[in-house]
Amino acid sequence: MPAPVPFDPDAIASAKLIVRPAKDGVTIKRTICSTCDIACSVVTESKQGRVVKVRSSDNPIFRDNICMKGIIAPKAFAHPDRILHPLKRVGERGSGQWEQVSWEDAMSDIGQRLKKVITEHGPEAWAVSTSQWNTATDHGLGRRIMNHVGTPNWISGVALCAGNTAAINRLTYGWFPMGDFNNTNCIVLMGHNPRRHSWTPIYNYIRSAQERGAKLIVCDPRKSSSAERADIWLPLKAGSDGAMMFGWLKVIFDEGLYDKDFVANWTVGFEELRKRVDEFPLDRVAKLTGCDPDMIAKAARMYATSGPSIIPWTPITDMQRNSTSAIRLQSILRSVCGYVDVAGGETLQGFNPDIVPESTIEMHEVLSEEQKAKQLGSDTHPAFTYRGQAALREPLKRVWGHEYVNQVTGCYMANPSATFRAMAGEGSYPVKAFFALGNNTVMSYANMPLILKGMMNQDLIVAHEHHMTPTAQLADYVLPGDSWLERPWLTDAFGWMSAYRPSEQSMEPPGEAKSTWEFWKHIANALDRPELVPWETLNDFYDDRLKGTGMSFKELSETTEIYFDKPVFRKYLKTGFATPSGKVELKSSILEDLGFDPLPYFREDPPADPDYPLQMFTGVREDGYFQTAQRQVPEMRKRAPEPQIFVSPGTASEYHLGENEWVTIENQIGKISAQVAIKEAMPDGLVRVPHGWWKPEMQQGAGHLSGALKYSDAQLCRDDEDYLDREQGIPHLKGVPCRIIKSPSGNATKTEAKV
Amino acid sequence: MSPFYSDDKRRELSAKLLIWLAARASRNQSMLDRLCLWLVDRAMRRDPDEDFMRDPIIDNDQGFDPEELDRYQRGEK
């Protein structure tokens, strides 16, 4: 999405175009940073065959979209501890004893052992976890090979971050919309807080929209930096997003602020929805959210009357016990106010007709119905599994031309908790082979003790990684992965947008590091299925996908920074929506057929436990880190050297906590150590727990995991039914009971540190 | 009737124009492309004092020396 273009006559009169000239001996490439999930278009400068600088693009469309993580990337990827050669485990699992082997030997052994697992237990006994954010993409090849082999058990962090949102959005209107920041009049942030160095382009879009006069509404328990700039800040209780949106709908319906024509002609279930909404008068919503009813009403009116408005994707609503209902309520708000597929609203972009999407590469159609039915978790929590998305096959084909559309890679996933139970021998069938690509699995999902039990129960674990992460430490093989500086890429935001951006390779991978594309090609060969990856090279693969453009990947990269599809709005007037009814389903026929409440609802918190009087939320990252990564990068670590919980001055006073004091945070399933940071922005009684902490310098191996057993928030993330979303089975991370114990022994000691 | 319906057509045209401009500006091949790039640049440039994207870390324009990176990669101080 291009950055906003505000046509300010004064700006035009005083502006000059400056393109940095190339320097002698410096090679310049236009590339896309994949250090985090936001994919900024940047420029790399290389000398003597290696990247020495990453800077923001010369193209004003991407004006200054770069952050500290991107700038430090040339050094971060040159880290002395980066894994550059394949490693094979030679001691007990987790013993930390490795030997260097060749790719050929590694793949030969991996192929034999994987085939043995498949023969003994069935193809479904092979599971894969990958975060496409870290690998940029695996080009659809992972799913393609899994589908041909016969396993549906693919999991990802996108199960609780954007991928699940994509799948749930489709239940309402058949696509995952992208907000039109450039033309919108009002932006609603549900707990999300894009900053200069985190989700940078989104921060840029929001600030630019505000400069144009767009309104900003922020719903966040914290007085975040976005909340400080907002027109309205609603400090709602953590985890009460769904209740807040019920309140908004109550105001919008009662005051007739919705788009009556659109509702009458293009929605189903309005009357039933209205009855449900009537169960949420503002005094009840105020009680559930902790917000002033007048402010709730004011925000609802602003959203409905300032239009077109957008509610951009938020990782916060993704991670709640009412996630499905809350995401659906966002979809419903967008719809009843008439903001779907309009300029300035929520665009449904579809596929770019000139380019073969990764969904097509994945070939979900070859996986048999019998094997699809075995997808772990689909019996109890089906929403983003094959079973949950099955009713969309015909509508997707009818409207978007593809029967299987895997947006943000999140629409045909197995359930993570069910997968780890199967790995631990507690499922309906065993999972005995596990691959993690660019994914620190043990720290990336709920119930870390279960994940560890599952990992220790595997016959084969393969990690494709940069560093010896806690997950890699438990693997049989650790294979070196390349970085975004070292590979080409072609992205459409994982099927979210119809515009594509190419990214040029800036340098050769160091050592024997290989891309995910090469990894999967090797795996196909190792499984005696070379025909599954028939392309010789990644560039050949891209050339094939780009045939419809009339350009090769090289030509596209050299001539085009964004390959747009022609924008068309209100496409539903011709095609209808990609839902079973062809309309926006305020009452979801899909959820009803799956045995769930077809209308959104709000499940209140379980009864309070006096032993755990505080509430914590986790899943929040620091600017210098992306999820569990970068802790070994000195420049980033210097900025946030220790895991810190945030508490309010009131909470600090009540529990006698001092700044920088080490404490233990506990709940019913685990405990972690962290330092206290007292923040005015935090409300009383709420604790912010940082996500993804381990210390690469600490002792490796089972029982230690480089400090992950001491600091990782995944040990506090529950996956019992009270703390799982019913339809998706994803964990509630926003408002979990906990307590703080004063603890002088929280920090690492010298004896624990790696010598 | 959508409350913003009267503005809808104008907004659609504006959105399409922006996409067209961005597409041309991103190609930078012909004179027209360069004109579009120039227009976009002029429209987006801000007074430095009011530019919310200015940042000391970014403005520092940090780069590295290839030998320095080689030494670092080898674990040398």
What is the 8-class DSSP label of residue A456? H
- Distance (Å) from the C-alpha of residue B30 to the closest C-alpha of chain A? 10
Mean pLDDT of A88-99: 97
- Judge whether A410 and A164 are in contact, CB under 8 Å: yes
Name the nearest CA neighbour of A373 among A387, A389, A390, A384: A387
Nearest by CB to A183, from B15, B27, B38: name it.
B15
pLDDT of residue B7: 78
Tell the residue number behind the tokens 């790039």, with chain if given: B37
| pLDDT band for position A739 (cuts 50, 70, 90) | very high
Nearest to A183, CA basis, from A566, A495, A498, A567: A567
> CA of B58 to nearest chain A CA: how many angstroms apart?
7
Q: Round to whole Å and give the CA distance between B26 and B20.
A: 10
Question: How far apart, in whole angstroms, are the C-alpha atoms of residue A631 and residue A619?
Answer: 16
Q: Are A41 and B67 in contact (CB under 8 A)?
A: no
Residue A19 has pLDDT above 80, yes or no: no
Rounded Cα distance between A530 and A520, Å, is 10
Nearest CA in chain A to B65: A52
Q: What pLDDT is stored for residue A20 in this prediction? A: 65
Mean pLDDT over A77-82 rounds to: 97
Asked if B25 lies within 8 A of A60 by C-beta distance, the reply is yes
Q: How confident is the model at residue A140 (pLDDT cuts 50, 70, 90)?
A: very high
Nearest to A53 among B14, B28, B64 (CB): B64
pLDDT band at A17 (very low <50, low <70, confident <90, very high): very low
Q: Do A53 and B4 touch (CB under 8 A)?
A: no
List CB contacts (< 8 A) between B37 and chain A.
Answer: 17, 59-60
Q: pLDDT per residue over B4-14, tens digit each?
A: 555 788 889 98
- pLDDT tens-digit readout, A306-339: 989 999 999 999 999 999 999 999 999 999 999 9
The pLDDT value given to residue A619: 74
Above 60 in pLDDT, residue A401? yes
The answer on pLDDT for A59 being more than 90 is no
Confidence of residue A744 (pLDDT cuts 50, 70, 90): low
Cβ atoms B73, A79 nearer than 8 A: yes
Average pLDDT of span A460-475 = 98
Give the pLDDT score at A135: 77
Closest residue of chain B to A635, computed from CA coordinates: B57
Residue A298 banded pLDDT, cuts 50, 70, 90:
very high
CA gap A395, A576 in Å, rounded: 9
- What's the pLDDT score for residue B5? 52
Measured CA to CA, the distance from residue A201 to residue A41 in angstroms comes to 10
Average pLDDT, integer, range A149-164:
96
Could you tell me whether strands A671-678 and A644-647 are parallel, antiparallel, or unpaired per DSSP bridges? parallel
pLDDT confidence band for A751 (50 / 70 / 90): very low
Which is catalytic among the residues A24, A37, A138, A611? Answer: A37
Query: Chain-wide mean pLDDT for chain A?
Result: 94
pLDDT band (50, 70, 90) for residue A358: very high
Query: Does the distance separating the beta carbons of B19 and A564 come in below 8 Å?
Result: yes
Contact A80 B66 (CB under 8 A): no
Q: Does A195 touch chain B (CB under 8 A)?
A: no
Residue A12 predicted with pLDDT over 80: no
A458 class by beta-carbon count within 10 Å (0-12 exposed, 13-18 middle, 19+ buried): buried
HEC string for A163-201: HHHHHHHHHHHCCCCEECCCCCCEEEEECCCCECCECHH
Q: Residue A737 is encoded by which pair of tokens? A: 């009971």
Q: Which residue, A87, A20, A75, A30, is CA-closest to A51?
A: A75
Q: Name the nearest CA neighbour of A172 among A558, A476, A579.
A: A579
A118-141 average pLDDT score? 91
Cα–Cα distance between A160 and A315 in angstroms, integer? 8
Q: Give contacts of B56 with chain A, Cβ < 8 Å.
A: none
Q: CB A560 to CB B58 under 8 A?
A: no
Q: Measured between alpha carbons, how far is A499 from A491 in angstroms, rounded to an integer?
A: 8
Predicted pLDDT at B42:
86
Least confident of A13-17, A429-433, A521-525: A13-17
Could you tell me which of A364, A371, A475, A365 has the C-alpha nearest to residue A429? A371
Which chain B residue lies closest to A66 (C-alpha atoms)?
B58
Q: Say if the Cβ atoms of B75 and A15 lie within 8 Å.
A: no
| Phi, psi values for residue B36, rounded to 5° | -65, -40
- Cα–Cα dist A512/A522, whole Å: 14
Mean pLDDT within A69-87 = 97
From chain B, pick out residues whose CB is under 8 angstroms from the CB of A11.
42-46
Lowest-confidence range among A178-192, A309-323, A732-746?
A732-746
Given the DSSP bridges, would you call strands A734-742 and A662-666 parallel, antiparallel or unpaired?
antiparallel
- Interval A512-521: pLDDT, tens: 999 999 999 9
Q: Compute the average pLDDT of residues A569-577.
A: 97
A212 lies within 8 A of chain B by CB = no
**Among A22-36, A70-84, A216-230, A262-276, the least confident range:** A22-36
Cβ contact A450:A420 at 8 Å: yes
Residue of A262, A419, A246, A403 whose CA lies nearest to A346 = A262
Q: What is the mean pLDDT of residues A719-741?
A: 96
pLDDT tens sequence across A609-659: 999 999 999 977 889 999 999 999 999 999 999 999 999 999 999 999 999
pLDDT digits (tens, 9 = 90+) for A430-452: 999 999 999 999 999 999 999 99
* Nearest-CB residue to B26 (from A79, A207, A562): A562
Between CA A474 and CA A754, with CA A472 as vertex, the angle to 5 degrees is 85
In this structure, are residues B47 and A52 in contact, taking their beta carbons and an 8 Å threshold? Answer: no
pLDDT band, residue A14 (cuts 50/70/90): very low
Whether the pLDDT of residue A3 is over 50: the answer is: no
Name the pLDDT band for A7 (thresholds 50, 70, 90). Answer: very low
Where are the extended beta strands (E) located within A103-245? 126-130, 154-155, 178-179, 186-190, 215-219, 232-234
Q: Give Cα separations from A213 to A65, A231, A735, B43 (angstroms).
A: 21, 11, 34, 16
Percent of chain A past pLDDT 70, that is, above it, reads 95
CB contacts under 8 A, A 49-78 vs B, are 49-50, 52-53, 55-56, 59-61, 63-64, 66-68, 71-72, 74-75, 78
Could you tell me the two tokens for A706? Answer: 């480089």
Minimum distance, in Å, between the CA of residue A218 and any CA atom of chain B: 19
For residue A408, give both structure tokens.
């943000």
Task: Decide if B62 and A64 are in contact by the 8 Å CB cutoff.
Answer: no
Which of the four pLDDT bands, split at 50, 70 and 90, describes residue A230?
Answer: very high
Residue holding tokens 């359930």?
A415
Q: Round to whole Å and give the CA distance between A61 and B37.
A: 9
Tell me whether residue A24 is one of the annotated catalytic residues. no
pLDDT at A203 over 90: yes
Q: Identify the band that residue A748 occupies on the pLDDT scale cut at 50, 70 and 90.
A: very low
Whole-angstrom Cα distance, residue A41 to residue A610? 50
Residue among A473, A494, A487 at smallest CA distance from A89: A473
* pLDDT, greater one: A125 or B28: A125
Q: Residue A709 corresponds to which tokens in the numbers above?
A: 């057993």
Q: Which two tokens stand for residue A346?
A: 């929520």
pLDDT at B6: 56
The minimal CB distance from B73 to the residues A12, A78, A185 is found for: A78
- Residue A636: C-alpha distances to residues A84, A369, A438, A550, A585 (Å): 22, 47, 19, 43, 45
For A388-400, how does the pLDDT look when each residue is reduced to its tens digit (9 = 90+)? 999 999 999 999 9
Which residues does chain B have within 8 Å of residue A60's beta carbon, measured at their own beta carbons? 25, 37, 40-41, 43-45
Q: What is the sign, positive or negative, of the torsion defined by CA atoms of B57, B58, B59, B65?
A: positive
Q: Tell which wins on pLDDT, A24 or A6.
A: A24
State residue A310 phi and psi, 5-degree precision. Answer: -135, 150
How large a percentage of chain A has pLDDT more than 90?
A: 92
Q: Which of residues 435-494 of A touch B (CB under 8 A)?
A: none
